[in-house]
Chain A
Amino acid sequence: MAIVAQTSRFSKIAWPVVAWIVGLIFFFPIFYMVMTSFKTDADAVNPEFLFSFTPTLENYANMTDNYDYWRFATNSIITSVFATLFALVVGVPCAYSMAFSPTRSTKDILMWMLSTKMLPAAAVLYPMTFLTKNVLGVFDTHFLVIVVLCLINLPIVVWMLFTYFKDIPKDIIEAGQMDGLNTWGEIKEILIPLAWGGIVSTALLTFIFCWNEAYWTVRLTTIDAATLSKLIEGNRAPEGLFFGRLSAVSTAAVGPIIVLGWFCQKQLVQGLTFGAVK
């Protein structure tokens, strides 16, 4: 008995300590980035000023004055919002039909959609660049970024929504049919209200994925449709690395999404665990 009590007292203290250590290790790069953003470029690379330095807002001022941070931020918002919206507009009916009128090939289609995520993005880099630049002429447009972000997230959107919709009893949908609903009515009156939490989780996660996407946004834009990812990338300037500036830009790029994530923690956990936590 005594041993059990001791073990539990030990674990009561030890586990939180371990958790804090692990947490701090993971958090450190972000902390370091935010700290560096308040240093001058010179201080940033000087070990002497690792923790003791004179904070400056110079990098942030520089960012808005010289780099037009707001244009990149606006582009990020526009592309992420619309890509998320379109992914839902396509994904909701798609997942709805797969959840409530499955056919023999539904499972295969779901697998196939997921398999598109297995293709390395780099494999289609050349055709994508060539087609958008030389054939379609949509290179560096919001339209292109929205379409690309929407398409690369669509498989995960459909999968997530499908999982949530599966939880809704079919009887309720059928009761709606008996009560006079057509397909659109079923989606509007029953499906969306009942799966609202799941749809919001999906939307948040998709938005975050879109916001953070860097591979395509960096390669398919130059100026007009360039997002914050491109801004960060752009600060690896030809003149070298300016850690202070880079950190400020990075902080300003991840800031909004971290704030969003903080407010929507509960929904996000539900989304990431596919509704397993309720």
Chain B
Amino acid sequence: MGSITLNKINKSFGDAEVIPPLDLTIEDGEFVVFVGPSGCGKSTLLRLIAGLEETSGGHVSIDGVDMTETSPAKRGLAMVFQSYALYPHMTVRKNIAFPMRMAKMPQAQQDAKIAAAATALNLTDYLDRKPGQLSGGQRQRVAIGRAIVREPAAFLFDEPLSNLDAALRVGMRLEIMELHAKLKTTMIYVTHDQVEAMTMADKIVVLRAGVIEQVGSPLELYHTPLNKFVAGFIGSPKMNQIEGPEAAKHGVTTIGIRPEHVSVSKTEGMWKGKVGVAEHLGSDTFIHVHDTGLMDMMTVRITGDIEVRHGDTIYLTPDMEKLHKFDAQGLRQA
């Protein structure tokens, strides 16, 4: 079991309120991702749940038990750090065994669990090495191994893939998702990468300046962002947000259209512009369009390839069904 409830939890450092009172419920077995720009308080929120940071007010409950004043050691949570935070003076085997040794688990049981974790994480050949002799990906797997053997109520991941190179990141992302599918344990995952958030989460919590902007499934956030911030943050490339007369035609302050919901023509269309840079990804092409008179630079995404040159005139037509409308406060209008 591992349901976590945050009730009016808040955190201040001195006079600076990092997280104003906040409520959040995480169901047992959910994969929840906290996402937001750097400095939005997502790591602080995770550390409040872990108990590594003292709350300034409010309550943290794990499985219905108030753990606000409980030490991190006794909350039954496991954490994987961005820096891996392995014990450099211990071998991989001892690193993985450490939480079990602290829990005074019988040696035979420890050995069995280490063997199982090492097999699952491809670490069998490295058990007697020190962390310093491992690659970044292997170190992160050791950190995950150390977390698994504890059978925690929930796993907490603090940007675990940020120190890995791009190729490894994708691989580890899949491994973590596989792990979740297998263990069905609650996981809370902090990242600033919206792609990680979209691909991994059951539920995404979008944070800005310590405030929850929206909570929902990845597709909910993609299809119905509740405000301009979430609209701009979720989805890649970013949603085009158009203000002024064009928005006024729809009776709102801002309209938003995702790059993939705009069709392109060389001869006719609703909006006219000049081609700037075109990024050919093979499967897709991103075209950055200038001089539309709507916004500085509009991005469109088309499937497949298209022959366009810098400076060509181009016509764009948005899919009206997929238009997002926001009022003066930046909130979504039905």
Question: Chain A interface (Cβ within 8 Å of chain B)?
Answer: 169, 171-172, 174-182, 185, 189-190, 193-194
Partner of A177, one of B52, B89, B103: B52
Q: A175-B81, A178-B50, A178-B72 are in contact. List 11 more A-B contacts (CB 8 A).
A: A171-B81, A172-B86, A175-B87, A178-B73, A178-B79, A179-B98, A179-B102, A179-B146, A179-B150, A180-B74, A194-B89
Q: Which residue of A lies closest to B150 (CB)?
A: A179
> Cβ of B99 and Cβ of A180 under 8 Å apart?
yes
Partner of B85, one of A172, A181, A185, A194: A172
Contact indicator per residue, chain B 170-210, by CB within 8 Å of chain A (1) or not (0): 00000000000000000000000000000000000000000
Query: How long is the Cα–Cα vector from A174 to B71 in the complex, in angstroms?
Result: 11
> Cβ of A178 and Cβ of B102 under 8 Å apart?
no
Number of interface residues of B (CB under 8 A): 24
- Chain A residues closer than 8 Å to B74, beta-carbon distance: 180
Given contacts A174-B52, A175-B79, A177-B52, contact A182 B73 (CB under 8 A): yes
Partner of A171, one of B85, B102, B103, B146: B85
> Cβ of A182 and Cβ of B79 under 8 Å apart?
no
> Cβ of A182 and Cβ of B71 under 8 Å apart?
yes
Query: How long is the Cα–Cα vector from A276 to B55 in the complex, in angstroms?
Result: 37
Partner of A190, one of B52, B79, B87: B87
Partner of B102, one of A169, A174, A181: A181
Question: Chain B interface (Cβ within 8 Å of chain A)?
Answer: 50-52, 71-74, 77-79, 81-83, 85-89, 98-99, 102-103, 146, 150
Partner of A174, one of B81, B87, B99: B81
- 10 shortest A-B CB distances, which residue pairs? A180-B102, A171-B85, A175-B85, A179-B99, A177-B72, A180-B73, A178-B79, A193-B89, A171-B83, A171-B81
Q: Which residue of A lies closest to B88 (CB)?
A: A194
Query: How long is the Cα–Cα vector from A29 to B52 in the complex, in angstroms?
Result: 57
Q: Which residue of A lies closest to B143 (CB)?
A: A175
> Cβ of B73 and Cβ of A169 under 8 Å apart?
no
Query: How long is the Cα–Cα vector from A167 to B139 in the complex, in angstroms?
Result: 20
Query: How long is the Cα–Cα vector from A169 to B98 in the complex, in angstroms?
Result: 18
What is the minimal beta-carbon distance from A164 to any residue of chain B, in angstroms? 14
Query: How long is the Cα–Cα vector from A172 to B81 in the complex, in angstroms?
Result: 9
> Cβ of A177 and Cβ of B73 under 8 Å apart?
yes
What is the minimal beta-carbon distance from A199 to any residue of chain B, in angstroms? 13
Given contacts A169-B85, A171-B81, A171-B83, contact A177 B71 (CB under 8 A): yes
Pairs A–B under 8 Å by Cβ, sample size 25: A171-B82, A171-B83, A171-B85, A172-B86, A174-B72, A174-B81, A175-B79, A175-B81, A175-B85, A175-B86, A177-B52, A178-B50, A178-B72, A178-B73, A178-B79, A179-B73, A179-B78, A179-B98, A179-B102, A180-B73, A180-B102, A180-B103, A182-B71, A182-B73, A194-B88
